């Protein structure tokens, strides 16, 4: 659009910005009550494309708002560094998974693995499918002991609408919540 000097009649937004807006407006009725007694700890991966390359820290802040609304502020543990300064997961926007550089991807991903482990969180929430694939593989391969879970899974869990067949990445501690 810049190249051809086109002024759009629309605004590009991330679904995360919309989730945050809908939660603030009461249109997306999430609740962290399910985790008050369980106290399951969560961290989040800031996807490179979404945060560093596109929307910056404001979308990272919205991401944290959504997660805290779903799991409880006291059950969120942030990585350091984070937001625009967070480390890449090593998934390469799907490139490394698609091209077979498994050894290199896992070696590069050790930085992210260690960053997640330092939080002590049982779950790493990923709003990006490529990050999810990479982080899930890192935890399994290096026996990290944490689960990688999609953001929408936690949103649905917090609303009590997560289907039985949508719990593949949840651990035994959460698999039966809301059924």
DSSP state of 174: T
Q: Where are the chain's structural domains?
A: 33-165
What distance in Å separates the CA atoms of residue 27 and residue 92, rounded to the nearest whole number? 34
Q: Name the nearest CA neighbour of 151 among 12, 6, 16, 7.
A: 16
The torsion angles phi and psi of 76, rounded to 5 degrees, stand at -105, 130
| Residue among 93, 154, 80, 161 nearest 128 (CA) | 93
Average pLDDT (93-97) is 69
- The percent of residues in the chain predicted with pLDDT above 70, rounded, is 98
Q: Which of 54-63, 89-98, 105-114 shows the lowest mean pLDDT across its residues? A: 89-98
Domain 33-165 has CATH 1.10.10: no
pLDDT of 96 strictly over 70: no
CA atoms of 104 and 93, how far apart (whole Å): 14
pLDDT digits (tens, 9 = 90+) for 112-161: 999 999 999 999 999 988 899 999 999 999 999 999 999 999 999 999 99
pTM of the model: 0.92
């Amino acid at each position: 659009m810049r190249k051809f000097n086109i002024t759009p009649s629309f605004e590009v937004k991330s679904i995360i910005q919309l989730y945050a807006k809908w939660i603030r407006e009461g249109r997306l009725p999430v609740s962290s009550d399910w985790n008050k007694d369980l106290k399951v700890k969560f961290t989040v991966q800031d996807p490179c494309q979404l945060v560093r390359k596109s929307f910056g820290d404001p979308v990272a802040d919205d991401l944290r708002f959504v997660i805290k609304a779903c799991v409880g502020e006291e059950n969120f543990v942030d990585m350091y560094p984070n937001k625009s300064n967070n480390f890449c997961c090593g998934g390469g926007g799907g490139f490394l998974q698609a091209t077979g550089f498994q050894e290199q991807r896992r070696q590069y991903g050790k930085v992210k693995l260690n960053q997640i482990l330092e939080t002590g969180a049982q779950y790493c929430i990923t709003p990006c499918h490529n990050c999810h694939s990479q982080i899930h593989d890192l935890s399994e391969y290096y026996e990290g002991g944490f689960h990688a879970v999609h953001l929408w899974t936690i949103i649905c869990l917090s609303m009590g609408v997560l289907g039985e067949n949508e719990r593949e990445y949840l651990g035994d501690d959460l698999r039966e919540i809301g059924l």
